[in-house]
């Protein structure tokens, strides 16, 4: 059993602050939700673990999908999303995404996001499993950074929004299934603070850092999911983790995403012998759904005794490649690769979490006055395998819907400030090596809970988590310890759900159950006892 808190505290002795809405996270979901609430005149407190730009959004390259071009329709976008989702998409959620998405993207443009254009019109590209060119991009391959820039500027200059950087959300203040606020900690002073609000929004992003090889920034440690689970909220689809097929694989180089848009513009995947292999695995070739491409790459790596495959752009016009992918070009050039002629060595890495905190169509969780949106949330919009470039759209659409839903709560203001006391944990133990635990966890997850899973491997992972239970007996006193406890918890949830699902579907592949089963066209929901 997991404790509801990871620190001992007494709110009667803590400094406190009160806002109408508390938002945790500063990626697209958190920033846009804060903006939407402020636009309605509500006071917003936004907490972020490091700086405002430390987010998955800032790292996103490919773009944001929305029906804004000719020869396209929400129905086509809907069908593409369902196909990628491998039978587990919530159809109503997808219809909301594709129909409301274009208006949210237009608002993003009005807020100052500058997407690439050709002759004054939005330049749209195509990515894997999309039937039309509907991906907006910025500065070639720096879409997320442009969105982050625009929204950060808006939020920083909004008098209704208070931003606290370098603050860790330690736990949620929940009583009788109602959320009253957040227990926060300054990363600098280590001071605990009780933040009270009429509603709390978790927009903390993904959990990629539970894997050694990940495209996610260091802050993506599954914090929101862990906070919600400890507070008694339901989580769903935790077994479905998307591994990006093409991440730079060079000795000594950190993982660097090679955007799906590279294949969208016509790049080929080749094995170590130069053979183009994707047409042998799927009729869409390099534009097959990501889970298909990942398993094809792993198969080629195994059959050719190689730790990588290669992306080949040499047949594409060199000017087009440099103009379309300036960031990728510069990064690869720093390692001596000219992507217009040199094949790019790539391998899969953890990228996106389809599962997360279970919500309805308005971001409501199973805990009253607690909401979630973006990658940390799950309402089935991505099913078992997210369609490329739907993630940024997800954050916009459902962040907006949260504010529409909780207006009555926000207008009423904070609904009381009950006292919270928790003292069951042993004092912090300075002998615990949290960095070592983190590294061991990352290795374990890659070995047993990665793109290919088996019952025996998943059981080994769960046995490891059981052995690590002792860590949760000690109170945390700094950010790294909080992150490691969160990582252990969400890693265990992923392994537990993966063991329960005895089939293969989308981002979840069981070598011992390699086929999808109709009986498993359902969701696994987990909740703390």
The catalytic residue positions are 290
- Rounded to the nearest angstrom, the gap between the alpha carbon of residue 90 and the centroid of all alpha carbons in its chain is 18
Measured from the Cβ of residue 314, the count of other Cβ atoms closer than 10 Å reads: 14
Q: Report the C-alpha gap between 104 and 81 in whole angstroms.
A: 18
Enumerate the H helices of 163-309 as residue ranges: 223-230, 260-264, 290-303
Q: Report the C-alpha gap between 291 and 508 in whole angstroms.
A: 8
3-state secondary structure of 225: helix
Half-sphere exposure of residue 527, counting CA atoms within 13 Å on the CB side? 10
Measured from the Cβ of residue 244, the count of other Cβ atoms closer than 10 Å reads: 25
Nearest Cα residue to 56 out of 143, 174, 150: 143
How far is residue 436 from each of residues 55, 132, 448, 502, measured CA to CA in Å? Answer: 24, 46, 18, 32
Backbone angles phi, psi at 438, to 5 degrees: -60, -45
Residues 6+ apart with CB under 8 A from 276: 268, 269, 270, 312
DSSP characters over 54-85: -SHHHH--S-EE---STT--HHHHHHHHHHHT
DSSP characters over 319-361: HHHHHH-HHHHHHHHTTT--TTTSPEEEEEEEEEES-EEE--T
> Terminus-to-terminus CA distance in the chain, angstroms?
7
3-state secondary structure of 11: helix
Instruction: Output the six-digit token pair for 219.
Output: 């802050």
């Amino acid at each position: 059993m997991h404790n509801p808190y990871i620190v001992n505290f007494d709110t009667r002795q803590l400094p406190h602050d009160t806002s109408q809405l508390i938002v945790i996270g500063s990626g697209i979901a958190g920033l846009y939700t804060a903006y939407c609430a402020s636009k309605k005149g509500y006071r917003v407190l936004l907490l972020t673990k490091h700086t405002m730009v430390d987010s998955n959004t800032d790292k996103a390259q490919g773009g944001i999908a929305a029906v804004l071009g000719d020869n396209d329709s929400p129905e086509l976008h809907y069908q593409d999303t369902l196909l990628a989702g491998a039978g587990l998409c919530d159809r109503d959620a997808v219809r909301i995404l594709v129909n409301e998405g274009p208006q949210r993207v237009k608002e993003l443009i009005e807020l100052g996001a500058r997407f690439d254009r050709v002759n004054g019109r939005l330049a749209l590209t195509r990515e894997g499993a999309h039937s039309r060119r509907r991906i907006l991009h910025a500065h070639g391959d720096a879409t997320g950074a442009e969105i982050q820039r625009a929204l950060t500027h808006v939020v920083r200059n909004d008098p209704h929004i208070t931003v606290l950087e370098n603050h860790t959300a330690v736990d949620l203040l929940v009583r009788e299934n109602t959320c009253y606020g957040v227990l926060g900690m300054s990363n600098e002073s280590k001071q605990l603070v009780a933040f009270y609000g009429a509603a709390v929004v978790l927009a903390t992003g993904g959990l990629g850092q539970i894997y050694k090889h990940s495209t996610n920034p260091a802050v993506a440690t599954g914090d929101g999911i862990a906070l919600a689970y400890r507070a008694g909220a339901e989580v769903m689809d935790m077994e479905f983790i998307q591994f990006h097929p093409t991440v730079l694989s060079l000795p000594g180089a950190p993982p660097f995403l090679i955007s799906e848009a590279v294949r969208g513009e016509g790049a080929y995947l080749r094995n170590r012998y130069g053979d183009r292999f994707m047409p042998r695995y799927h009729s869409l070739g390099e534009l097959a759904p990501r889970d298909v491409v990942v398993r094809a790459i792993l198969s080629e790596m195994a059959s050719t005794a190689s730790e990588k495959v290669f992306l080949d752009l040499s047949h594409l016009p060199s000017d087009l490649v440099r103009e379309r992918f300036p960031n990728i070009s510069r990064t690869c050039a720093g390692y001596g690769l000219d992507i217009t002629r040199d094949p790019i060595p790539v391998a899969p890495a953890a990228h996106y979490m389809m599962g997360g905190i279970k919500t309805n169509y308005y971001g409501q969780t199973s805990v009253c006055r607690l909401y979630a949106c973006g990658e940390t949330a799950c309402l089935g919009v991505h099913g078992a395998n997210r369609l490329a470039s739907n993630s940024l759209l997800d954050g916009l659409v459902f962040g907006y819907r949260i504010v529409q839903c909780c207006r009555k709560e926000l207008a009423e203001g904070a609904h009381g400030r009950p006292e919270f006391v928790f003292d069951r944990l042993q004092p912090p133990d300075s002998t615990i090596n949290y960095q070592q635990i983190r590294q061991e966890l990352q290795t374990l997850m890659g070995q047993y809970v990665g793109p290919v899973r088996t019952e025996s491997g998943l059981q080994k992972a769960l046995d490891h988590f059981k052995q690590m239970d002792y860590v949760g007996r000690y109170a945390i006193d700094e950010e790294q310890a909080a992150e490691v406890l969160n990582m252990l918890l969400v890693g265990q949830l992923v392994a537990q759900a993966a063991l329960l699902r005895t089939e293969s579907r989308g981002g979840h592949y069981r070598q011992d159950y390699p086929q999808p089963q109709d009986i498993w066209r359902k969701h696994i929901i987990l909740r703390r006892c």
